[in-house]
A and B are shown apart, each in its own frame.
Chain A
């Protein structure tokens, strides 16, 4: 069974540009999460999808971040326009059940904004 995949693995962009990150969850997992780790700090929750619906987006930093999950399969996270403080590693995770199941993580996308 394929795990959670993320694309790209690395992205280097200039301040003001747009970047789109993609996450493909494990097949059949209804729940999809985005997290971010800024250098040296804790991994922080960004948002949670249940199928195609946003269950919780309380961790989204601001309106420059837009997440979508059309059709309840893969998800994209777009940053527009990117700022220096957006640099970090963006993780995606998926799980089957809601309250008790393990969240399986992807390898992350390292985003560098210059």
Chain B
């Protein structure tokens, strides 16, 4: 069974600095998808970034980028130029594409990121 581990329950960063959130996962699959979702306080959970395992290039979305190390089963999220609006709970998630089974998301326990002014 697949598992996702986020070893940092809480992190803090100063505004405008860079922070990296860690995520490791365990799977025997070769093709899968990885996601980072964020949930701001009292707000909806939204997708930050996604990565297809068959793509070697790391995904990037504006100030958000990932460091995907397939062999190490590591999928960290880097936030550059942190902003106050980045304060949120960040969840790492794994998905095996549909192939006779549901494409459910498997989540880590989350990292609470606080951006300090």
Contact = CB atoms under 8 A, between A and B. Distances in A.
Contacts of A40: 109
Interface residues on A, range: 20 to 34
Interface string B77-117: 00000000000000101000111011111111110000000
Contacts of B91: 43
User: Shortest 4 CB-CB distances between A and B: which pairs?
Assistant: A56-B102, A99-B98, A99-B97, A45-B104
Interface stretch (B14-22, B41-49, B59-67): B41-49
B103 A105 contact: no
Contacts of B34: none
23 contacts: A33-B104, A40-B109, A42-B110, A43-B91, A43-B107, A43-B110, A44-B107, A45-B102, A45-B104, A45-B106, A48-B102, A56-B101, A56-B102, A56-B104, A58-B102, A98-B103, A99-B98, A99-B99, A102-B35, A103-B105, A104-B47, A107-B44, A107-B45
A62 B101 CA distance: 20
Contacts of A43: 91, 93, 105, 107, 110
* Highest count of chain B CB atoms <10 Å: which of A42, A48, A99: A42
A88 interface: no
Interface of A: 3-4, 33, 35, 40-45, 48, 55-56, 58-59, 91, 93, 98-100, 102-108
B45 A105 contact: yes
Given A40-B109, A42-B4, A43-B107, A106 B44 contact: yes
Contacts of B109: 40-42
A107 B43 contact: yes
A102 B105 CA distance: 10
A10 to B, nearest CB: 11
Contacts of B99: 99
